[in-house]
Structure 1
Amino acid sequence: MVRNVHTRRFPGHRDDLVRLLDTLGTPADELWPVADWPPTRLDGPRVPGTPAGHGPIRYVLEEAEPDRLRFRFTAPAGVHGHHEFTVDGDALTHVLTASLHGWARLTWPLVFRPLHDALLEQLLDRAERALTGRVAQPARWSSYVRFLRGLAEIRSRRTRTEATLRA
């Protein structure tokens, strides 16, 4: 069982956090670090049952409250569980809870967890910048995250080149 938690406190900013959370997955998203990661998108209205995702990660919206968004994973294969964003008092928290099966038992610790952790820390940096105008201690990618992202870029370039050659 995986339980992965990222949280940051923003004293005096509860209402602002709720407003930021309301932008998640929309064209006006102020939280998701789209400059560095595939954007997260809701494929419809913010109601339970709406498909969503980012990159190869797919999920469906299960619960939508002003201070809470909960998504159930639908891909990749072997990941059974959910992730959620909550505003609790002055804290913005993301919790991922999942059981892993098959290849996911290997790909989560070796690939997805390091990338997930880097993405979530950047998301919290964006919240901090939006609320305070600065980031006291910006998240830094580890050398391993930079390596994984380099591999993904090589794969992406190869896929684009192959598609161009086929066209």
Structure 2
Amino acid sequence: MWDISNTIGPGPNPDPISTPPEIQGQGDPQIGGTRSCGTVIVAPSETRAGDVTRRRGEVDACTWDVPDPRFAGPDFTIINADVRDDGSVVGWGSVTTRFGVGPYALVRAADGTTTVRTFLTGAGRYRGLVYQDVQVGQGDTWTVTGWISPAE
């Protein structure tokens, strides 16, 4: 089990994700597959401000269905989100995987389409590598397009 205690905390939304980066040619190998979240380990605290419900500190176990063993097994995702009454969401937090730890940013449109950007720094035997991706989908399952490259 991973120690996730040092990854919980408030934080600004990482880089905006409205225009995902061009994936082609940015590292090797490219990672493809799906990622599913939704198993809540720690329920969030909630407060209300106007038409927004602020959810903070939720911890979910998510699973990756990708051919790369560095992402096998569950990850632990800290979720902070502002949920609007129309169903749209802006979220941020951190992800802890076998590969490493790092921030993510999430935008869910009112129609349920979700875009997630993740940036992980390799840990342990993956030190010196970084992983970046764009995940897009409906509900709690997203198609992953990402890549691993040397850290600069």
Indicate whether the TM-score tops 0.5: no
Question: Larger helix proportion, structure 1 or 2?
Answer: 1
TM-score, L = length of structure 2: 0.38
Larger radius of gyration: 1
TM-score, L = length of structure 1: 0.36
